[in-house]
Amino acid sequence: QVQFVESGGGLVQAGGSLRLSCAASGSIFSISAMYWYRQAPGKQRDVVAAFSAGITSYTDSVKGRFTISRDNAKNTVYLQMNSLKPEDTAVYYCAADMLISKTDSFRRYWGQGTQVTVSS
User: What are the tens digits of pLDDT across the range 8-57?
Assistant: 999 999 999 999 999 999 999 999 999 999 999 999 999 999 999 999 99
Residue 101 has pLDDT above 90, yes or no: no
Q: What is the chain's Cα-based Rg?
A: 14
Q: Say if strands 107-110 and 76-81 run parallel, antiparallel, or are unpaired.
A: unpaired
Report percent pLDDT > 70 for the chain. Answer: 100
Residue 16: predicted pLDDT: 98
pLDDT band at 103 (very low <50, low <70, confident <90, very high): confident
